[in-house]
Structures are given as C-alpha cells and as structure tokens.
C-alpha cells in the first residue's frame, strides 16, 4: 500500500509548536503562529519567482504549505491562551485567593492513595460559574479539586456529570497543564444539579458492573471493569505495578485496541446489512462506548480514528491509516491544544503510528526468507511485529514516567493478547446485561474473569522474572539515548540480516531431526509438503504434524550450504545457555568476580538518596541486614540497594504510613529478597496501610503491624517506641479528627556492626517522623528509664536518624538525651518544605554530632573503626 505522507509534516509541526508554546502568553503564541505563517508564504512566493529544478520546488512547496497551515492552526492555541488569561483564574491561583465555584464533574472522583493528601477525594470540575472577591467568570476551564479526607469520609462522592457547588483556596497548576488551577475545598461539595440522562445511564451501568464483580477474586474485581470500561478503581496496587513492569497497562487504558474489538464484533453481527446501515450502527455503538468509558484524550483519538474508518466504509475506499492519524491529531490539537502534552494522547498516537509505519516492515523482516526458508511463518511474524512496533515507538516516552525499560514487555503482550478479546467483549456484555438480565450478566462476567486471570498471571510472571526491568536514566539524556539505541538496533538488523542466521539455525534443526517446526507450532495448519521422491508438490490439506523422511545426503547438503551461519548461531546459542546456567547456579567460585559494592563491606548504616523521603540500610552486630523505610515510589531505592550490593534483607521496618516512607516498598520487594515486614500502628485505617498489606500479600512476605499481635524479635534490633499507652493516646487524638500519623512513627534501636579493627557494636536510633510533642514524650520515657532496649539505649547513642527530615518541629531535650556522634538526615534537594531547618541543624551541632545529609552527599555509608567514624561517599 502506498502511504499518503502529505499531512505528516503539518501534524508534526503543529504538535511540536503547540507543545512548546502551551506555557507561553497569548501574545508570544500569536507571534510564533505569525512567524510560521510568514515563512510559509515566503516559501510559496519563492516558488513563483524561482527557476529552480522541479524537485527543489516540490520540497519548498511542501515545507511552505506545512508552515502556513501550521501557523494558521496554531492561532487556536493563542485564542485558548487569551481566553484562559482573561478569565482571571490563573492570576487568582497565583495569589492563592479564596474562590466559590459551581461546575460539572468531568472525571470520576478518586481517592488519593498516597502522598501528603492521602485519603483525600480528588476530582476535576469544568467551571460554569466562579466568583473570586469582587469579580466573576463563566469561562469553562477545568479546575482540579481536592477534598480533604476528614470532609470526604462518610459522604458519597459527587457523581460524574453532576453539577456541584464548592468553595476553597486556589493554588496554581503546573505550567502547560490543562487545569486552570487547583482548589483545596474548605467545605464538602454540594450537588446542585443532577447529571444528564446519558451520564445517569452511564453511571448506573458502571456501578452495576462493579457490584456484579464485588465477590470475585481481587484481580477480577479490578481487571474485569478495567479491561471493559477502563475503570481501575478496584485494581490492586501490586497488580497495577506488575502490569506497568510488564508493559500491559494499555489493557486497562481504553484506546484503539478496544475500539477495534468493538468494531469487529458489530461488523461481524451485521454482515448481512447494507453498508450504510452498518456504518450507522458502528458509529452509534462507538459514541455509546465513548460515553461509557468517558472521553479521555486517548479515547477521543481512538474514536476519531474509528470515525475515519467508518467514513471509508461508507465511501467504499481503502483506509489510509497514516493520513487518518495525522488528520485526527490536527483536529484534536485545534479542538483542545492541551492534548499535545497529555501522556495518554502522546502514547496512544505514538503506538498507533508505530503500528501503521512499523508493523508491516517488521513482519516482513521476521518472515524474510533465508536460503529459501523463512525464519517465522507469516502469522507468527505479524503477531510478533505488533508489540515490537508499539514498544519501539513508545519506549523513549515511557522513560519519562518510569526510569526503566521493561525487558519482557513484548513477550508479555504476545502472551496476554488472546485474552484481551474475551475480557473486553464479555466484560462489555456484562455491563450491558446487568440492568436487564442479571443472570446472563453474571455468566458473562465470570467468562471475562477467566480471561483477566490469564492477563494477571502473565503480568505477575513477567514482572517477577529475573531481570524484568533494565534501569535507565529518565532524564532527557536517557530518552535520547534509548531513542538512539532503538534506531541503531533497527538499522543493524536490516543491515546485517539477523534473520538469516536464525533461519539457518531453524533449517539445521529441521534437516537433522526431520521435524517440521512450523507444523508443531501451528498444529493442523494447511501445509504444502514437497514430494522429495518425484520433485512434485501436492496439497495434504488439514493434517497432523508429521516427521519427514529426509535423506542423509540432502541433510548434509543443507548443512554444508549454511555451515558458516550455522556454526556462528550454534556457538552463540551454546554460550548463552552456558552463561544462564552458570549464573543460575551461583557457584561460590564466582564470588571474587562479582563487582560487589563500591561502598565496601565495613559500613554499618547507609543513607539512600531517594529524594524527599527516608530509606536507611543498617547492618547489625548480629549479622543481620535491615531496611528502615523505603522512600517514595520510584526506582531510586532499588538503585541504592543494588549499589550497596544488598540481595537479602532480614526485615523492612516501615515507621509510619506516609508515601515518602512506604512508597518504594514494591520496588524493594522486586529488587531484593525480604523475609519480613514490620509496620507502625495503623491508627486510622488508612488507605496506605491497606496498600502495604496488599503488597506484602502479593509478594508472599509476612507482615506484622504494631498493635496487632506480638512483633517478631530480631537479634540486636528493637522497637523502643511507641508504647501501648502512647498508641491509645494517639488513637484518642485521631478520633478527634487530628492527623497523628507522624507521631505514630516507630522508633527503632539497633546494635550496629563494628568495623574490622573495631569489633565492638555501636548503637543507632531511627526516629521516623516524630513531631516535637512525640519527641518530648519519648525523651520523658527515656529519662524515666525507658524499656530494656538494645545496648542500653537512653544513656547516649552513637548515631541518630534525625526525625522528620530535620523539620523545625523537634525537641531539644531528646537531642540532649541521645547525644549522638553522627546525625543522618534523609532529605530531597531543593525541597519546598525548607528541610533541614536551621533549628534542627544547630541542635545536633550543639551536641557535637557530624551531620550527613542526602541532599548534599547523595547515597552514603558510615561505619566505625578504631580511629572513629568514617564516611564512604561523595560528601563535602
């Protein structure tokens, strides 16, 4: 098929210029649009007066038209920017003014599962009327609303499509963000208008599906609504992480593949109807599906592509996918310029573009005959080409969301692909039937849950496989490097014909054992088998796999013809098998060859640089290895453990349930072997505590929560605080509406390992995020004798992990009681909280403690030798 590339430069130019200019003022955007238009006009004028060659005129004409059209269309961005600024809301947000709103809920409300707004209800509202001080506006911009947990608990969330009234304090959104501003509600919102008829029907259908699967397994409760209608509200966090690592998140992000399945089903059911009537039915179903899953940017892109396909069906013209994709991109950017930076839209367009431009060539490459023998059958080559093309296209962009490359994503997508069709079709059938035939809906839901079980199983196996992720820099350099590597690998494959060697290996296997591999893989496929006796070909029809009688002379000739390629392939295969086998056995004689840790092996405590959060590794006198907190979500804690050469952790202590202390737990469980998890008290039944429980269950690791039975004992490690009396006190404060999560932090005391020339243990204390009041009560507890802690805790210690990242909320009495030699602070560079504060630094300096901060030193390790404490790392 000859592809139409005429719209490609226009779409790319408009997309790039829109993405760049979104944060600009309207005048600057208008100036850029004018510049592009003028350049286009000058290029076209040059053609009129020039006498250059026809080829030069063609190039300039294409560039001129692209610049002129992109400049004209970019004017819509200037119009949007001017309208936003004129509304006054961005300025009011910068000034953090108080505002009163009424608007329509345009995104499903979600509960914040982590972070400092943990438990809060988050929703997006399209403004219908806003009042700030003495002026009003009706500009229909979007505002992201956060309803604090204490206001949201016990009250029904606003319905999608409902008109609500609320008030609160504005704050600015991120540059180039679609939302005009953010608002923290000062009172619960009130519904002042019901959703429209369509929204009411959609809400009822989505609710019925979730109720239908309420008693299903956890994966089915999350994946059946996720695969059918994109509802991931019940998706378990560990499974969501596994799907991210496996590259399967598109299954619950409704986009092109779901529309394709729906279109295929409708076209199949209406194949006897006239073409025009079929197109009308498909269009109606597509509109209904968009309403059911809610019109996100990726959904709109897929629906618009479907509209182009429907138009082609009506006009009886072959589809030009690339031209259609470009037209959709241009149209959606003009309609809503903020699509240009929306990750869902970007990934959706890139994946579709990868399939349109790359799937065919990749399939041809994998099927390319070598010495007359294709490496892969055509069906297998096409099946493999689709995920490869999509992964190559979206890989660099995914790095900005996750700092690693999913190694098994292609294999996982191939394995999960057969289950997507029944999961989507039967999930949608259950959604439609739930309101009219509950029994039929239940049957369909059970069938869909069987398909989603396989998807979940594939995600878990591929995420848990050795080397499932390849760490990669997530900055601009990393993105460009991955893009360059992708281009290089693709170029080398085409240049040196990798499939030749692979096809030669396949030919060797077939000729030596007489086994036709293609018949085994595709059992019952129609095959044409050559008659080796007469040289004639005949069709054997639908046949079972067969062993072909190949003469020895024929096999020898085939081997001699491919001898160099076969020797090379056989040697590479043997070496790969040998390396994998040796590494799997992990023999002791390999230990000296292992790179080990650049931090050595004499340290006792390591501070992991995980940004604004805590993560400390300690090695005890009892030869144990423990992790105190895991830092926020991300790959940083995994990189730290790898750099420290940690492969096994006896226990992970989670001091309290805040995201900057527990967010990296899943990454830890994927990186090292963990025996147990010990968590602080769950005072208020937080969502974060439930997420920790799910992660522990998913990983098969025993979890002990303070106050819920006896805590396990570890040699040289003890939980000194809180006491049971303190927990009861905190519970009373929590019941009164106070957030006591920080003061519920575990205080862990450990006998730390001594250095090679100083075998005696030292004492380390890790204070979590205790606030000043909690620290004062701990100080009084210590002065009263405390408990029989490790190594006489309370009589002066060697090392302290400073509470709450060195905040100003601290107790000088506790600092004097501890009197440490070393103070460790986990804190992020340029954090917005002012951590560590001058008060905290001065207090610890006042007792003679050496202060080591992760924002200045990065990941560091400290230990004690005969000459005193030493630091390993880049610390000024």
> Would you say residue 506 has pLDDT above 70?
no
In three state form, how does the secondary structure of 254-272 look? CCHHHHHHHHHHHHHHCCC
Q: Please state, in angstroms and rounded to a whole number, the distance separating the CA atoms of residues 656 and 675.
A: 19
> Would you say residue 628 has pLDDT above 90?
yes
How far is C-alpha 810 from the geometric centre of its chain's CA atoms?
36
Considering only residues 481 and 430, tell me which one the structure prediction assigns the higher pLDDT.
430
DSSP string, 735-776: HTT---TGGG--EEEEEEPPBTTB-S-EEEEE-TT--HHHHH
Of 348, 347, 378, 373, residue with least CA distance to 360:
378
DSSP string, 193-240: EPPPHHHHHHHHHHHHHHHHTTTS-HHHHHHHHHHHH---TT--HHHH
Q: Give 307-320 pLDDT, tens digit per residue.
A: 666 665 555 555 57
Q: What is the pTM of this model?
A: 0.63
Q: Would you say how long the chain is, in residues? A: 876
Q: Which residue has the tokens 């079929």?
A: 278
> Would you say residue 286 has pLDDT above 80?
yes
What number of CA atoms fall less than 13 Å from residue 162's CA on the CB side? 18
pLDDT of residue 594: 44
Angle subtended by helix axes 197-212 and 409-433, to nearest 10 = 110
Average of per-residue pLDDT values in the chain: 79
Phi, psi at 305, each rounded to 5° = -60, -40
Q: Give 368-395 pLDDT, tens digit per residue.
A: 765 556 667 777 777 778 888 888 888 8
pLDDT of residue 598: 61
Reading the block at residue 374, the tokens are 């294709």
> Would you say residue 423 has pLDDT above 90?
yes
Which phi-psi region, left, alpha or beta, contains residue 786 (left: φ > 0; alpha: ψ -120 to 50)?
left
What number of CA atoms fall less than 13 Å from residue 305's CA on the CB side? 26
| Alpha-carbon radius of gyration of the chain | 32
Q: Please state, in angstroms and rounded to a whole number, the distance separating the CA atoms of residues 33 and 76.
A: 9
pLDDT of residue 135: 85
Interval 421-443 mean pLDDT: 93
Q: Cα 89–91–96 angle (5° rounding)?
A: 90
447 Cβ neighbours under 8 A, 6+ residues apart: 422, 426
> Would you say residue 726 has pLDDT above 70?
yes
Q: Please state, in angstroms and rounded to a whole number, the distance separating the CA atoms of residues 627 and 630.
A: 7
Which of 69-73, 151-155, 712-716, 838-842 has the least mean pLDDT? 151-155
Interval 757-767 mean pLDDT: 76
Reading the block at residue 802, the tokens are 């400073």
Highest mean pLDDT among 83-97, 192-206, 472-486, 772-786: 192-206
Burial class (CB in 10 A: 0-12, 13-18, 19+), 573: exposed
Highest mean pLDDT among 322-326, 432-436, 682-686: 432-436
pLDDT of residue 255: 74
> Would you say residue 466 has pLDDT above 70?
yes
How far is C-alpha 865 from the geometric centre of its chain's CA atoms?
43
State the DSSP H helix or E strand holding residue 616, giving kind and residue range, or none if neither. Answer: strand 616-619
Asked whether the beta carbons of 284 and 310 are under 8 A apart, the reply is no
Interval 438-462 mean pLDDT: 92
pLDDT of residue 530: 37
Asked whether the beta carbons of 404 and 635 are under 8 A apart, the reply is yes
Q: Give 581-627 pLDDT, tens digit per residue.
A: 454 444 544 444 444 456 677 788 999 988 888 999 998 887 889 99
Confidence grade of residue 551 (pLDDT, cut at 50, 70, 90): very low
Q: What is the DSSP letter of 804?
A: G
Considering only residues 420 and 153, tell me which one the structure prediction assigns the higher pLDDT.
420
Question: Distances from the Cα of 272 to the Cαs of 267, 268, 276, 283, 873, in angstroms?
Answer: 9, 9, 12, 17, 73
pLDDT of residue 534: 37
pLDDT of residue 531: 37
> Would you say residue 445 has pLDDT above 90?
yes
Highest mean pLDDT among 352-356, 400-404, 611-615, 753-757: 611-615
Confidence grade of residue 569 (pLDDT, cut at 50, 70, 90): very low
Strand partners, 470: 405
Q: Please state, in angstroms and rounded to a whole number, the distance separating the CA atoms of residues 173 and 175.
A: 7
Asked whether the beta carbons of 518 and 527 are under 8 A apart, the reply is yes
Which of 19-33, 172-186, 364-378, 842-856 has the least mean pLDDT? 364-378
> Would you say residue 444 has pLDDT above 90?
yes
Asked whether the beta carbons of 161 and 141 are under 8 A apart, the reply is no
DSSP string, 583-600: HHH--GGGGGGS---TT-
Q: Please state, in angstroms and rounded to a whole number, the distance separating the CA atoms of residues 317 and 590.
A: 64
Q: Give 215-260 pLDDT, tens digit per residue.
A: 898 889 999 999 999 888 888 877 887 888 888 888 888 877 788 8
Which of 120-124, 308-312, 483-487 has the least mean pLDDT? 308-312
Positive or negative, the CA dihedral 144, 147, 153, 159 is: negative
Q: Please state, in angstroms and rounded to a whole number, the distance separating the CA atoms of residues 314 and 299.
A: 22
Which of 490-504, 636-650, 673-687 has the least mean pLDDT? 490-504
Q: Please state, in angstroms and rounded to a whole number, the distance separating the CA atoms of residues 126 and 129.
A: 9
Reading the block at residue 166, the tokens are 């609320």
pLDDT of residue 584: 42
Q: What is the DSSP letter of 579?
A: H
> Would you say residue 292 has pLDDT above 80?
yes
Highest mean pLDDT among 36-50, 130-144, 316-330: 130-144
pLDDT of residue 202: 93
Confidence grade of residue 443 (pLDDT, cut at 50, 70, 90): very high
Reading the block at residue 796, the tokens are 């002066």
pLDDT of residue 228: 93
Which of 15-19, 38-42, 343-347, 677-681 has the least mean pLDDT? 343-347
Question: Distances from the Cα of 728 to the Cαs of 631, 681, 768, 778, 846, in angstroms?
Answer: 27, 10, 19, 15, 34
Strand partners, 654: 679
Asked whether the beta carbons of 289 and 259 are under 8 A apart, the reply is yes
């Amino acid at each position: 098929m000859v592809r139409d590339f005429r719209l490609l430069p226009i779409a790319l130019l408009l997309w790039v210029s829109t993405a760049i200019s979104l944060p600009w003022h309207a005048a600057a955007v208008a100036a850029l649009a004018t510049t592009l238009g003028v350049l286009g006009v000058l290029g076209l004028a040059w053609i009129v007066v020039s006498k250059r060659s026809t080829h030069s005129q063609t190039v300039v004409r294409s560039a001129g038209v692209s610049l002129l059209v992109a400049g004209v269309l970019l004017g819509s961005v200037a119009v949007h920017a001017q309208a936003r600024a004129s509304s006054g809301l961005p300025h009011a947000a910068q000034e953090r003014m108080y505002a009163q709103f009424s608007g329509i809920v345009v995104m499903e409300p979600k509960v914040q599962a982590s972070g400092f707004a943990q438990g809060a209800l988050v929703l997006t509202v399209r403004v219908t009327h806003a009042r700030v001080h003495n002026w009003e506006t009706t500009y229909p911009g979007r505002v992201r609303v956060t309803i604090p947990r204490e206001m949201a608990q016990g009250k029904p969330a606003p319905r999608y499509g409902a008109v609500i009234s609320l008030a609160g304090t504005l704050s600015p959104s991120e540059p180039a963000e679609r939302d005009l501003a953010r608002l923290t509600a000062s009172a619960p919102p009130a519904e002042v208008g019901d959703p429209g008829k369509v929204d009411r029907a959609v809400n009822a259908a989505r609710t019925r599906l979730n109720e239908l699967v309420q008693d299903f397994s956890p994966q089915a409760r999350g994946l059946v609504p996720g695969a059918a209608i994109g509802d991931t509200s019940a998706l378990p966090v560990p499974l969501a992480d596994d799907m991210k690592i496996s590259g399967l998140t598109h299954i619950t992000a409704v986009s092109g593949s779901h529309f394709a399945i729906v279109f295929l089903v409708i076209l199949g059911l209406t194949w006897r109807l006239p073409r025009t009537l079929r197109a009308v039915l498909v269009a109606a179903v597509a509109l209904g599906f968009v309403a059911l899953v809610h019109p996100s940017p990726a959904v709109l892109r897929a629906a618009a592509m479907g509209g182009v396909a429907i138009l082609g069906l009506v006009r009886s013209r072959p589809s030009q996918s690339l031209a259609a994709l470009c037209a959709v991109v241009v149209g959606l950017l003009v309609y809503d310029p903020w699509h240009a930076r929306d990750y869902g839209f970007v990934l959706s367009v890139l994946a579709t573009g990868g399939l349109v431009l790359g799937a065919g060539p990749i399939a041809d490459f994998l099927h390319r005959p070598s010495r007359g023998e294709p490496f892969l059958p055509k069906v297998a080559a096409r099946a493999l080409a689709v995920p490869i093309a999509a992964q190559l296209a979206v890989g660099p962009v995914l790095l900005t969301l996750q700092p690693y490359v999913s190694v098994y994503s292609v294999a996982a997508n191939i394995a999960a692909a057969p289950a997507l069709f029944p999961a989507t079709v039967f999930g949608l059938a259950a959604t439609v039937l739930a309101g009219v035939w509950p029994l039929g809906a239940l049957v369909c839901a059970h069938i869909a849950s069987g398909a989603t079980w396989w998807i979940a199983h594939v995600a878990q196996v591929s995420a848990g496989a050795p080397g499932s992720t390849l760490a990669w820099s997530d900055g601009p350099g990393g993105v460009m490097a991955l893009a360059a590597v992708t281009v290089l690998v693709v170029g080398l494959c085409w240049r040196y014909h990798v499939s030749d060697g692979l096809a030669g290996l396949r030919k060797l296997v077939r000729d030596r054992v007489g086994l036709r591999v293609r018949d085994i893989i595709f059992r019952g496929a129609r095959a044409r088998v050559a008659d080796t006796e007469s040289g004639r070909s005949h069709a054997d029809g639908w046949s079972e796999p067969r062993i072909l009688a190949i003469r020895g002379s024929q096999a020898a000739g085939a081997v001699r013809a491919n001898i160099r390629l076969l020797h090379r392939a056989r040697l590479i295969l043997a070496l790969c098998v040998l390396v994998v086998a040796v590494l799997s056995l992990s023999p002791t004689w390999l230990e000296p060859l292992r790179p080990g840790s650049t931090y050595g092996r004499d340290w006792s405590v390591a501070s992991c640089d995980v940004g604004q959060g805590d993560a400390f590794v300690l090695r005890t006198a009892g030869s144990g290895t423990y992790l105190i907190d895991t830092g926020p979500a991300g790959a940083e804690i995994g990189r730290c453990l790898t750099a420290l050469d940690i492969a096994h952790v006896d226990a992970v202590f989670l001091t309290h349930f805040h995201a900057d202390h527990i967010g990296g737990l899943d990454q830890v469980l994927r990186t090292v072997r963990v025996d147990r998890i010990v968590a602080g008290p769950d005072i208020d039944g937080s969502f974060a505590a439930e997420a920790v429980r799910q992660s522990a269950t998913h990983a098969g690791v025993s979890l002990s929560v303070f106050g819920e039975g006896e805590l396990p004992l570890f040699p040289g490690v003890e939980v000194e605080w809180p006491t049971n009396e303190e927990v009861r006190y905190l519970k009373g404060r929590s019941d009164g509406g106070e957030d006591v999560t920080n003061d519920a932090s575990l205080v862990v005391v450990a006998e730390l390992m001594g250095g090679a020339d100083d075998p005696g243990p030292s004492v380390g204390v890790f204070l979590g995020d205790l606030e000043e009041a909690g620290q004062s009560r701990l100080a009084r507890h210590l002065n009263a004798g405390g408990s029989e802690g490790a190594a006489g805790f309370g009589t002066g210690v060697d090392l302290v992990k400073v509470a709450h990242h060195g905040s100003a909320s601290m107790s000088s009495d506790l600092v004097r009681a501890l009197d440490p030699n070393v103070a460790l602070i986990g804190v992020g560079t340029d954090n917005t909280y002012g951590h560590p504060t001058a008060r905290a630094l001065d207090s610890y300096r006042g007792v003679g403690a050496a202060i080591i901060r992760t924002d200045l030193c990065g990941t560091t390790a400290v230990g004690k030798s005969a000459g005193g404490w030493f630091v390993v790392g880049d610390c000024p």
